[in-house]
Every structure is written in C-alpha cells, then in structure tokens.
C-alpha cells in the first residue's frame, strides 16, 4: 500500500525520498524491521491475551525431562508469526503481484487449518485435534490451487536471458528474451540443471505437452503436503521449528533475489523469473516474524506456535520453493524437516513390521520424531536445538553453493 502511495507522491509532487520505494531492497529492509518490531513489541500482548483466554498447551506425558513444567504454556502463538508477516507485506509489497497474492493466500489458508486444529485441542478438549484426513484435505486443496495458479496464470512466466546482437559493424544491441510459460525446474548438482515436468508425459505422443499439468499439479500437491507435515513434526521443543525455518526462508530469499534479477541470473546462468523479485519483501517479513517469535519461544518458551504456526510455516516454505523453481532442493535445504519426518516413518514402519514378524514391536529410535530421541538420550533441549540449527545452517550453505557447483 505504501508503495503505491509514494509512487503517487513522487509522480505528482516529487516528494523527497519517495523514489526509495521503487527499490525492493529498501522495502525488504523496512519489512524485516517492522516485522521484528511487531513480533517482539506486540507478541507479549498476544501471549497475555492467550493466557487470559486459557489457551494453554496440553502436554502428553512422554517421560521426558522438564516436560510437565510446560503444561499450560500458551499455544496458538503462530498468530504472532502470521500478523508480523502480513502487516509489513500489505504495507510494503506490491499487492497486484501474483506471487505475493499466492503467498498471502497460503499463509491465511494454512493458518486457518492450524488454528482450527489448535481450537479443537484447547477448547473442545480433544487431544487429537482436527482429524488427520481433514488436515490432509486442506493441504491437498492448497497444493491444487497453487499448482493450478502457477500453471495457468498468464503472469507466471520465465524469460530467456538477454542476448547481444550486432546490428551493424559498430553497434551492439541488447535483445530481451521472450517471456514464456514453462514447467521447468532446477535439478541441483547437474551442469544442464533445468528439468521440464512436461517431459514425463511425452510418451503420450504429439500434443501431450498441453497436459503437463497432469504431472505438474500432483507434484505441487505432494511437495506442499510433505513440507507442511515436516514442519509440523519438527515443532516439538522450544525454538527448534522457528529457528530452522528462519534459516530455510532466508536461503529461499537469496534464490528469490538472484532469480528475480536479470543481471544476477544471467551471471549465475540460472533461470530468470520475471516479477519474482517482489518475493523478497514477503521473505524478509517472514524471517523477521520468525526471529521475533523466537524472542518468546526460545527455551524456556513463553508461548508455543501450535499447529497455527507450524502448518503455516511448512506450507509457505513449500510454496516459496516452488515459485523460485527450487523445490527439488527441499530434501537438502529442509533436511531437518526431512530427517524428522523420515524418523517417524521409519519408526512406525519398523514397529509394525517387527510386531507382525516377531509378535512384539521393536523400535529404531528411543522415541520419534528425531529430536525426542536425543532428549531420551539425556541431551538438554537447548543443546539439541542449537545443534539442529548448526546443521540447518550447513545445509543452507550447501543449498546456496549449488548455484555454482554442478
């Protein structure tokens, strides 16, 4: 909103400083500052409100040290993250940008699903919360909407890099590449690292590329569902999900910056995505909100994000990665989420297998998700969180390095 206001003031009155709002980097800096202020300054008020409404977390006895002391800690703290992200985005981003619209919708959609789940747990006294099939239905619906928009919307395009041509003996002109619709994505660690989902349907014959959405949209649904659930499983101890998510989102912001800039993308020889640079404002606001939330969520936590936060974080991360065409990097970048999810799948699968084979279920880990395994081994949760953050930073560095290592 402020962008449009200052554009008007600059055009009509040459208002001093108004031109600053033309630069996405300036608006991104303002967005992260405002999101930090909102999360830290107003987060306490939201926590007090949640306490007043007796929105306390019900803690199941898992036999973990310090667990009982957490009972009654306010949950639904994801509201802080959502508000601290959306307010700066509405103020500083271009609201006619299709990617910004899509991310705002994603945050509200997943936030509503998570809020409903927390509401049922807290106020309906149902520890199971929203039934799993309804959560999955919400995630699948989001993936369907996101996939359809990215495939069919006319403003979701890619562009060939600008090329120099000689128009006369001494004159060299820059010719802009054409904007095209494409289902291409990035395959990490390969020299020719662009992969088109449409290839997977070429076997159907001539004209099959028109139906590439039959491959593209299900892939989006799978990614959104997987990452959302991964973030949800990671939210188990103080600061773990918020800290690792901030690292992941910051890294995706780097990709949004270089993919949305014709010069950077040309130099790095990566796909240039018009209009994706505006994502930088959303990303910085989101990072600021996550860091600000850590002010109250770091050990010992004064508030938990609940499913209101964790499902939202996972959904937004997935959509950002898909928009910048880096979704195949998710197993690396979101390695913590991936490990947490994998530990649960392995634990459940192995338990069922051994129960059927030996009549007694056996376990790979002392407890899953993975962070609880280390708690059972006697590690303090602050040490677990810090070490998971360090691993997350290493994975982020590896992810960024894929820009040049192929």
Instruction: Report the pLDDT value the prediction gives residue 65, as an integer from 0 to 100.
Output: 62
Q: What does the alpha-carbon distance between residue 377 and residue 65 come to, in Å, rounded to a whole number?
A: 11
pLDDT at position 172 is: 45
Q: What is the pLDDT of residue 167?
A: 47
* Confidence at residue 142, expressed as pLDDT on a 0 to 100 scale: 97
pLDDT of residue 94: 93
Q: Say what the pLDDT of residue 177 is.
A: 64
CA 276 – CA 258 distance, rounded (Å): 9
Higher pLDDT, 17 or 289: 289
20-54 tens-digit pLDDT: 888 899 999 999 999 999 999 999 999 999 988 87
Report the distance separating Cα 38 and Cα 45, nearest Å.
10
Q: What is the pLDDT of residue 187?
A: 87
pLDDT for 127 beyond 90: no
Helix intervals (H) in 278-402: 279-297, 306-323, 330-333, 335-358, 370-376, 381-401
Cα 314 to Cα 55, 92, 338, distances in angstroms: 23, 23, 12
Residue-wise pLDDT tens digits, 355-368: 999 989 999 999 99
Tokens in use for 168? 């006369």
| Residue 391 burial (CB count, 10 A) | 15
Q: How far is the C-alpha of 75 from the C-alpha of 37, rounded, in Å?
A: 21
Say whether 244 counts as a known binding-site residue: no
Task: Tell me the average pLDDT across 234-255.
Answer: 95
Note the pLDDT of residue 200: 85
- For residue range 161-219, list pLDDT tens digits in order: 555 444 444 444 444 667 888 888 988 887 777 888 888 888 777 777 788 889 999 99
Cα–Cα separations (whole angstroms), residue 254 to 227, 249, 320: 19, 9, 11
Cβ contacts of 2 within 8 Å, gap of 6 or more:
21, 91, 92
DSSP-assigned states of every residue in 91-130? HHS-TT-HHHHHHHHHHHHHHHHHHHHHHHHHHS--TT-S
Q: What is the pTM of this model?
A: 0.92
Q: Find the angle CA(249)-CA(255)-CA(258) to the nearest 5 degrees.
A: 145
State percent of the chain over pLDDT 90. Answer: 66
Q: Would strands 172-175 and 163-166 be described as parallel, antiparallel, or unpaired? A: antiparallel
Q: What is the Cα–Cα distance from 28 to 160, expressed in whole angstroms? A: 26
What pLDDT shows up at residue 59?
63
The domains of the chain are located at 27-401
Q: Is the pLDDT of residue 268 over 90?
A: no
Question: For residues 158 and 179, is the Cβ–Cβ distance under 8 A?
Answer: yes
The yes-or-no verdict on residue 67 having pLDDT over 70 is: no
**Greater model confidence, 179 or 258:** 258
307 has binding-site annotation: yes
- Of the pLDDT bands very low, low, confident and very high (cuts 50, 70, 90), residue 304 is very high
Q: What is the mean pLDDT of the chain?
A: 89
- Contact in structure between 207 and 213 (CB atoms under 8 Å): no
390 band by pLDDT with thresholds 50, 70 and 90: very high
Confidence at residue 58, expressed as pLDDT on a 0 to 100 scale: 65
């Amino acid at each position: 909103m402020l962008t449009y206001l200052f554009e008007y003031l600059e055009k009509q009155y040459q208002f001093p400083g108004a031109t600053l709002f033309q630069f996405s980097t300036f608006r991104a800096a303002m967005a992260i500052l405002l999101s930090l202020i909102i999360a830290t300054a107003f987060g306490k008020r939201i926590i007090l409100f949640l306490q007043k409404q007796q929105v306390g977390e019900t803690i199941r006895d898992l036999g973990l040290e310090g667990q009982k002391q957490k009972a009654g800690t306010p949950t639904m703290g994801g509201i802080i993250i959502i508000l601290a992200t959306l307010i700066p985005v509405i103020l500083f981003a271009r609201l006619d940008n299709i990617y910004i619209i899509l991310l705002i919708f994603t945050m509200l959609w997943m936030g509503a699903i998570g809020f409903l789940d927390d509401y049922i747990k807290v106020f309906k006294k149902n520890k199971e919360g929203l039934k799993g099939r309804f959560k999955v239905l919400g995630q699948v619906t989001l993936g369907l909407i996101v996939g359809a928009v990215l495939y069919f919307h006319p403003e979701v395009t890619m562009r060939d890099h600008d090329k120099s041509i000689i128009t006369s003996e001494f004159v060299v002109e820059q010719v802009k590449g054409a904007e095209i619709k494409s289902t291409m994505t990035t395959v990490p660690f390969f020299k020719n690292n662009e992969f088109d989902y449409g290839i997977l349907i070429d076997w159907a014959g001539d004209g099959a590329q028109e139906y590439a959405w039959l491959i593209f949209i299900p892939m989006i649904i799978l990614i959104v569902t997987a990452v959302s659930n991964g973030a949800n499983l990671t939210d188990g101890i103080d600061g773990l999900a918020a800290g690792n998510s901030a690292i992941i989102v910051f890294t995706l912001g780097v990709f949004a910056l270089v993919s949305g800039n014709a010069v950077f993308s040309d130099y790095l020889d990566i796909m240039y995505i018009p209009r994706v640079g505006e994502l930088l404002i959303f990303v910085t606001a989101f990072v600021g909100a996550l860091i600000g939330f850590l002010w109250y969520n770091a050990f010992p936590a004064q508030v938990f994000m609940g499913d209101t936060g964790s499902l939202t974080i996972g959904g937004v991360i997935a959509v950002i990665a898909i928009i910048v065409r880096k979704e195949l990097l998710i197993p690396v970048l979101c390695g913590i989420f991936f490990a947490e999810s994998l530990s649960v799948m392995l634990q459940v699968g192995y338990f069922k297998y051994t129960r059927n084979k030996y009549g007694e279920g056996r376990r790979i880990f002392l407890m899953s998700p993975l962070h609880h395994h280390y708690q059972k081994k006697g590690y303090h949760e602050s040490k677990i969180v810090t070490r998971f953050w360090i691993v997350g930073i290493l994975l982020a560095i590896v992810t960024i390095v894929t820009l040049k290592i192929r």
